[in-house]
Amino acid sequence: MITLKNIVKEYDGKQEGNRAVDGLDLEINKGEFVALLGPSGCGKTTTLMMLAGLLKPTSGEIYFQSKLVNHVEPKDRNIGMVFQSYALYPHMSVRDNIAFPLRERKVPKQEAYERAKETSKILQIDHLLDRKPSQLSGGQQQRVAMARALSKNPEILLLDEPMSNLDARLKLDVRDEIRKIQRNLGVTTIIVTHDQEEALAISDRVAILNGGRIQQYAPPSELFNHPVNLFVASFLGNPPMNLIHGTIEEKTGNQVVATKGFEYILPADRRLDKKHIGKSVQFGIRPHDVTVCAATDPQAIKLKVDLVEHLGSGKLVKAIDPYNKLETMIRLLTDNKLELNSGEYIYIKFKDRKFHLFDMT
Ligand code: ADP
Ligand code: MG
């Protein structure tokens, strides 16, 4: 449905390191819901604006179906867009706001109003059609912006941080609603967000961006379970993955990741090629894959509790190696029943096969 081929965007001149988008390839299927996720400034909005036709790529090609659209005007792209600010016309009624994209396309007023009414019903705002945007709550304005984007039955819906102005509770409801509407209408949708929970919750696939480049493009569970690099591993997950520096060594017939605080024996089915022996590595393990165990457990690692944070559903424990050789704290999640206080010693181990290895050099 949508193909981006080696897209580059430079805003001011062609100096090195000045690329907002730096060689981006992306394919989006018809009816798919895709999120562009990444830290502030990574090029998400720039990419969306190029899809909308509001910005032109410096180089590269954008195709809708098999048609090159680089030079197609925004109004001829059959796209609906919701901006972070909603950008509603303040002097117009809700009805006129929703009908605006149709009027722009020379749809007669009566018909445009009828279609605005239909779209407003889908979003459950048909009782607000006579109001002005200033007379609406944030959540209602958000729906009007959605209705305006959808009124002309676009093939593609582009959403730029559409929920960032809503409070936490409302965000969850609106999120579900956007997903439902998208499913019902089957409209190909691209959402830009810096909120990983949001992206993972509603998308079929997520493209993780950093520095104008795609780091990984995959379904949510794949990103979480098989991050391809250190950026994706440390960006995704809350609390973040533990990352501990070590080296790959061979000891008594086993391969181990040796860190300054512990040695982790690699299971036989995850043995590495011999060329990696002696190499430096980042050992990654998610906090929920670290468990408290008995001191007598052969894999036990002794740590000292530094901080305990209550998360409601459980506790986040930050523990340090008592001799401070690990050079990093270890985060682990425990259930509420476990009583732990700062300064106490605990024994932990890592769940089998849940580790990740990055940056073997
Ligand atoms: P995101 O939406 O991921 O936060 P943007 O696409 O807005 O990121 O910006 C990507 C990069 O391009 C940033 O470094 C930003 O400062 C720069 N940038 C964005 N808009 C402009 C502009 N109009 N002129 C110059 N640089 C810009
Ligand atoms: Mg942005």
Query: Could you report the per-residue pLDDT of 39-73, keeping only the tens digit for each?
Result: 999 999 999 999 999 999 999 999 999 999 999 99
Q: What is the mean pLDDT of the chain?
A: 93
- Position in ligand 1 atom list of the atom nearest CA 9: 12
For domain 242-358, the CATH class is mainly beta
Over 90: is that where the pLDDT of 197 sits? yes
The interaxial angle of helices 94-104 and 138-150, nearest 10 deg, is 20
pLDDT in tens, 60-109: 999 999 999 999 999 899 999 998 888 899 999 999 999 999 998 899 99
Distance of CA 217 to the CA centre of its chain: 10
- Position in ligand 1 atom list of the atom nearest CA 48: 6
Closest CA to 212 of 2, 5, 4, 7: 7
> 2 vs 34, 52, 79, CA distance in Å?
11, 12, 12
Could you give the dihedral angle defined by the CA atoms of residues 180, 184, 188 and 194, in that order, rounded to the nearest 10 degrees?
Answer: 0
Instruction: For residue 212, give the ligand nearest its CA.
Output: 1
What spacing in Å lies between the alpha carbon of 160 and ligand 2's midpoint?
7
What spacing in Å lies between the alpha carbon of 222 and ligand 2's midpoint?
25
Number of neighbouring beta carbons within 10 Å of residue 54: 16
Report residue 15's pLDDT band, with 50, 70 and 90 as the boundaries: low
Task: Say how far apart CA 320 and CA 119 lie, in whole Å.
Answer: 56
Domain ranges, ordered by start, for the chain: 2-235, 242-358
The answer to whether 331 touches 316, Cβ cutoff 8 Å, is yes
What spacing in Å lies between the alpha carbon of 208 and ligand 2's midpoint?
14
Q: Does the interface ipTM go beyond 0.95?
A: yes
- Position in ligand 1 atom list of the atom nearest CA 44: 3
Over 70: is that where the pLDDT of 189 sits? yes
Closest CA to 306 of 325, 296, 294, 321: 321
41 lines ligand 1 (CB under 6 A): yes
Could you give the dihedral angle defined by the CA atoms of residues 152, 153, 154 and 155, in that order, rounded to the nearest 10 degrees?
Answer: -160
For domain 2-235, the CATH class is alpha beta
Instruction: For residue 37, give the ligand nearest its CA.
Output: 1
Percent of the chain with pLDDT over 70: 99
Q: Give the pLDDT score at 17.
A: 67
Task: Say how far apart CA 304 and CA 254 lie, in whole Å.
Answer: 28
What spacing in Å lies between the alpha carbon of 119 and ligand 2's midpoint?
27
Q: Look at ligand 1, atom 26, and give the residue with the nearest C-alpha.
A: 11
Instruction: For residue 54, give the ligand nearest its CA.
Output: 1
Instruction: For residue 44, give the ligand nearest its CA.
Output: 1
pLDDT in tens, 221-248: 999 999 999 999 999 999 999 999 999 9
- Position in ligand 1 atom list of the atom nearest CA 42: 3
CA atoms within 13 A on the CB side of 350: 22
Q: Give the pLDDT score at 13.
A: 66
Task: Say how far apart CA 190 and CA 50 lie, in whole Å.
Answer: 12
Over 70: is that where the pLDDT of 14 sits? no
12 lines ligand 1 (CB under 6 A): yes
- Tokens (6 digits) for 340: 């732990």
In this prediction, residues 136-155 reach a mean pLDDT of 93
Q: What is the pTM of this model?
A: 0.92
Task: Say how far apart CA 136 and CA 337 lie, in whole Å.
Answer: 45
Closest CA to 38 of 206, 197, 208: 208
What spacing in Å lies between the alpha carbon of 182 and ligand 2's midpoint?
22
